Structure 1
């Protein structure tokens, strides 16, 4: 029998609770072995009650063994709201539900066991952690499931390092905005989605007016600070699903999914005003740093492409520059 007491195996199972099912010939030894493991481990019986909650699991979750042994409240250690753990899903023969319950997890499903990597709330520990979890059944002599063991590994540091590397690959080092590579990838993804859903896709090309003169007057550090402040101003006007990217040099690009040209023009004007209100001193006739913006909108279809959308917005930007800067411009067919 796996022991039902000790630091790892916990306190009693509660009044009237049956003793744990015999798993192996020397269950006491197995219990002691799991208790001594440096890897967090917990074991559920066939009624989804905790049989073992080892010391490493206590340290990871912040939950003492005596609080969960004999109960089915182990989920509280990992989630804010009730949901099954991997061990529960194995017990309930619901392996396929893991992708519904944890849709953003990386999962591996076999006929008898589950393996996932995902973020967990960890409410008692007071911090979200990225864990690798494995759950496998333990079979009794009759061939039926006698218990399920779940092991955990804390991969938070590795995940954060991976996220940092991904950000380096997709983020502009100066402004923190998406870089050109990320812009290109996102534009094509949004174009494909607009094509599927027959929704408009709008694009703004934003260029800082007379930036070379500003850079010459204020030096590279002053120019960098100018770009960072403008990047923040542009970002402040965005919805959650919009994307602002540093397109190159002093030029920014804004992807506005499911936005009409009229809506895009309103956003562009807000951006123009927001930058003007920064009142960054300039030697240009306007006395303050300003931006020119070209806007374009397309309904994705086989007759046009994302590249054409960029070209149309670029042409509108060129007209805004030619017409005197510090203004927005729409495609000629729309502006007429």
Structure 2
């Protein structure tokens, strides 16, 4: 007969039954769930987790290979960060996250996961909560998962509708206004100059009258695509300002740099060679007004727009197919 150790529950005790019931319950939860021990080994990988990831429990139980269910390269899951006391890394590793200041109560995060076994990408809402013994020692961490892919994609679509121009797909007037305000504050804080390009398609009414509004829409779409190809720095912005007018915000850019960008745009439009019988040269051209400003007490973003509009007006009346800068520079293509 084997003596029972002190503190050890008797065989078939309520403690044994309770633990068995808890494990069995977790296995059959409809919420995808897995459990890591204090060494990041997988203790439980329930059936819902198998369905969500395409990875069977037998493949990961007793290993630290659970990352393979979510990512193509090794990286910690949220439960790993809790086990290892690395919750400070959540911000760098996850698309969005909750307050990680109190990890003893659990951590929430959301992320796009590539799901290698499924061959598809999912947006998962993730919660990881620690379990401690009576002495306060970490015993395990439970991670639960929710598939939020459809919700996230719908949310992204709504956000794009609010910030993108429906016809051209580039930023809309609202995005332009918000970007100009935020960048103006940044430029003033960092004592850097910025430039604004106001761009108008020459004789666009004639183009619509000659070729029809559908052709006019295609023309605007082609111009928008071209602008985004020329203006590609992450901090800059190309927007449809209204009608046939576009606007470009060039951060940390002086008048010379803005002129180079404007000249490149005019060259690319000439290469595009969209036929336009109502234009002086027989193809679609642009007029561009440029304003550049260093942060000054009496200068505002409204002044920047006004100066660019004035320069655009001068470009139009000087013969079109050119850019004019509020600094006095002018180029004719």
Quickly name the TM-score band, shorter chain normalised: 0.7 to 0.9
Match runs of 1:56-205 below 5 Å? 56-102=48-94, 104-109=95-100, 110=102, 111-205=104-198
1:288 maps to what in 2? Answer: 283
Return the alpha-carbon distance in structure 1 between the equivalents of residues 16 and 121 of structure 2: 35
Task: Structure 1: give runs of 5+ residues left out of the alignment.
Answer: 1-22
Is 1:327 matched up with 2:322? Answer: yes
Query: 1:140, CA displacement in angstroms?
Result: 2.9
Structure-2 change in CA distance of 1:301 and 1:122 (3 Å): farther
Structure-2 change in CA distance of 1:126 and 1:198 (3 Å): farther
Query: 1:124, CA displacement in angstroms?
Result: 3.5
Contact 1:99 1:107 in 2 (8 A): no
| Matching residue within 32, 47, 51 for 2:43 | 51
Structure-2 change in CA distance of 1:289 and 1:106 (3 Å): same
Structure-2 change in CA distance of 1:255 and 1:220 (3 Å): same
Query: 1:25, CA displacement in angstroms?
Result: 5.6
Structure-2 change in CA distance of 1:277 and 1:24 (3 Å): farther
| Matching residue within 246, 259, 268 for 1:265 | 259
Taking only aligned residues, the RMSD between alpha carbons, in angstroms, comes to: 2.1
Return the alpha-carbon distance in structure 1 between the equivalents of residues 304 and 31 of structure 2: 53
Structure-2 change in CA distance of 1:55 and 1:221 (3 Å): same
Return the alpha-carbon distance in structure 1 between the equivalents of residues 195 and 310 of structure 2: 14
SS where residue 99 of structure 2 aligns? strand
Query: 1:175, CA displacement in angstroms?
Result: 0.7
Give the alignment's TM-score, normalised by structure 2.
0.87
Query: 1:45, CA displacement in angstroms?
Result: 0.9
Return the alpha-carbon distance in structure 2 between the equivalents of residues 128 and 194 of structure 1: 38
Contact 1:108 1:116 in 2 (8 A): no
Query: 1:149, CA displacement in angstroms?
Result: 0.5
Deviates more, 1:268-277 or 1:151-160: 268-277
Deviations 1:224-246 (A, max 9, x none): 11111111121211123121100
Structure-2 change in CA distance of 1:67 and 1:305 (3 Å): same
Return the alpha-carbon distance in structure 1 between the equivalents of residues 122 and 188 of structure 2: 37
Deviations 1:149-195 (A, max 9, x none): 00000111101100100000011111111100000111111112222
Deviates more, 1:176-185 or 1:92-101: 92-101
SS where residue 229 of structure 1 aligns? helix
Structure-2 change in CA distance of 1:153 and 1:24 (3 Å): farther
Query: 1:307, CA displacement in angstroms?
Result: 1.5
Return the alpha-carbon distance in structure 1 between the equivalents of residues 322 and 137 of structure 2: 74
SS where residue 236 of structure 1 aligns? helix
Contact 2:115 2:122 in 1 (8 A): yes
SS where residue 125 of structure 2 aligns? strand
Contact 2:255 2:327 in 1 (8 A): no
SS where residue 212 of structure 2 aligns? helix
Task: Structure 2: give runs of 5+ residues left out of the alignment.
Answer: 1-14
